[in-house]
Structure 1
Amino acid sequence: MIETREAISEKAVLIGVITQLQNEDKALEYLDELEFLTITAGGVPVKRFLQKLDRPNPKTFLGTGKLDEVKEYIDAHNVGTAIFDDELSPAQLRNIERILDCKILDRTNLILDIFAGRAQTSSAKTQVELAQYQYLLPRLTRMWTHLDKQKGGIGMRGPGETEIETDRRIIRDKITLLKKKLETIDRQMSVQRKNRGKMVRVALVGYTNVGKSTLMNLISKSEVFAENKLFATLDTTVRKVVVKNIPFLLTDTVGFIRKLPTQLVESFKSTLDEVREADLILHVVDISHPNFEDHISSVNDILVEINSANKPTIMVFNKIDAYICETIDEDDLVTEKTKAHYTLEDWKNKWVNDLSEEVCFISAEEKTNIEEFKEKVYDEVMKIHTKIFPYNNFLY
């Protein structure tokens, strides 16, 4: 069970930009996600600010006029935190904090803070701590100079609360020690994976909050923690599952997210090794989310990054019970049919035609089409089992 933290009720403003690489629709969508991240961390988003720029200001991220507008709102409404949707450079952090005179967080710091609150095992805690120190190292001057203004709360858990005496040398030494500790953990986890016997390995992957843990609980009859919050699951969970007459190992992994901090991708190497060493990937998608196709792309990008993009995959479109499409009147000859008007049947036809992978549409919450899903998993596992263990096909 995840430990409950004392409610912070920390008011925050959210700040994003529209650029040549990020149009207004995309910027608003990212701010929606930033709001969910803020709530998950225990904050209360009270206002959004969005500015159109050719590129972010290298000194202050926003333009001077927009920063003055943010400052005016913060002072008038007693807001203690400003959260930016992109990673800020050390110089930007210092300059913005001097102007706004409040706690400044960026998306990376916010995600690291959520991970710090969610980590339970020694492995996850070590991975998060390493990522936090790697983030802090180039920002030490800002962190310690302004420590007197930081009263705890979002972004201040973990190494951010260490003594002021911490300096670059101590941080580097700490990073070295954590890396050695992770190497030991990696070796232990590698031995554990080798000792799991001759069974096919199946990994659940997907964007955060798509229902992986709910699906894991359903088909493995276990009690993996599941919650409608981002990154509810950090620690890798492995369960033995039997479908019909064949057993396999099912792994639930940490959810992915766009703009995932590079420090986390690196420090969570041992967790992602579960995906690298999987024989079959179940890519779970929340089809009820309006931007689920972007989520698929984000997950696929990370799979490419960890050299796991070419593994056998079943696309599992979850939450069909929550899917809603816009309807067009049969007599309407003007409105052009777009993806917003696609029925589930339309999506099925599209993905079956577009993908070489197997496709399945389910609701883990309502247990809809679960038998069809199990059948597809069984077929794929049997193919892999026959290929990997040709002399062990009739043991089950």
Structure 2
Amino acid sequence: MTDVVIIGGGIVGLATALQLKKQRPGLTVTVIEKELSVARHQTGHNSGVIHSGLYYKPGSLKATNCIRGYHMLLDFCNQEGVPYELCGKIVVATKPEEIPQLNILFERGQQNGLTGLRKLSQAEMREIEPYVNGVEGIRVPQTGIIDYKQVAEKYAERFQALGGELRLGERVENITPGNSLSIVVTNKGTYETRLVVNCAGLYSDKIAQLTQREPINLRIVPFRGEYYKIKPHKEYLVRHLIYPVPDPNFPFLGVHFTRMVHGGVEAGPNAVLAFQREGYRKSDVNLKELYETLTWPGFQKVAGRYWQTGLGEMYRSFSKAAFTKALQQLIPDIQEDDLEDGGSGVRAQACDRTGGLLDDFAILETDKAINVCNAPSPAATSSLSIGQTVSEKVLARF
């Protein structure tokens, strides 16, 4: 018997496990991960940005956890020797009609406690990023770059050093909630536990449904983000991180330029529907999972509302020329031949039955389970803070 079973060995599950063992060393905690190593999915396909908290509604879980998590992450990395760089970024309005939304972002950043925020004229932007195109911008000095897979591996190492158990290569197949204990069945064994914590990312809705009889009111819709890399001879075009003003109605930040902590520059991502939950390539298709997405009433409403945006993203997925044109809005000098195929990631985006794409973190609780069902960006930056929030909910049960 174990006190707590955590399902999912990504950065949020491991941060939760670590925080639990630090706060209550005597608690027995087991992390179950279906892959043979940690951080194989959202964490391992992350763009590696340390987010400052600029974008998020003041007082939201995203805002409070991002800002607290930012400082906790940097403290952890300093203590454990995990490399990172606070290189800063600029957010660029490429046309006058984007300036009101840029001003809203600036105000949000101030309300969220960011220090050193600065509005930039076109000339001031060019001093920081000589090749950028825009009419106005914001300088965000607290943004940084890091390798989140390395961070997650360090979480796992510290968790196990504190006596935690990490079970790799085990897939959860069933959960039976009981009066005092729940039974978690995997492909390799059975675990009796007092509490299940679900940090299963792309499958968090599936695991959540196993913990209760009533249907849950959301579904994970997978969106693939595809990147290009800038060829080395053109990396001089990007000094730091360059972001557009995001569409306030869509929970994605738009194509941008990211200098990577291990070298190189990524350009992207777009945001297209993935045809399976772990579909990192265009050719990856799981008909059952695709059917579940397409028949979800919430997704049908999203598709009806954003079909033009979706078609544009899909077109850029198959047209390098169209992708390049989107990038040229920020850096006109970038050319199609300057780009080579990069990586991709899949975002676990929760969508409710009414067609709402959940923008904030979502934690669903039952008597025997705590389900982290929506933890999109900035979850990696916020991981230790989310882990502390969830661990406090856990400890309140004991």
TM-score between both structures, scaled by the size of structure 2: 0.24
Higher Cα Rg: structure 1 or 2? 1
Whichever structure has more strand as a proportion of its residues is 2
Larger relative CO (CA 8 A, sep 6+): 1 or 2? 2
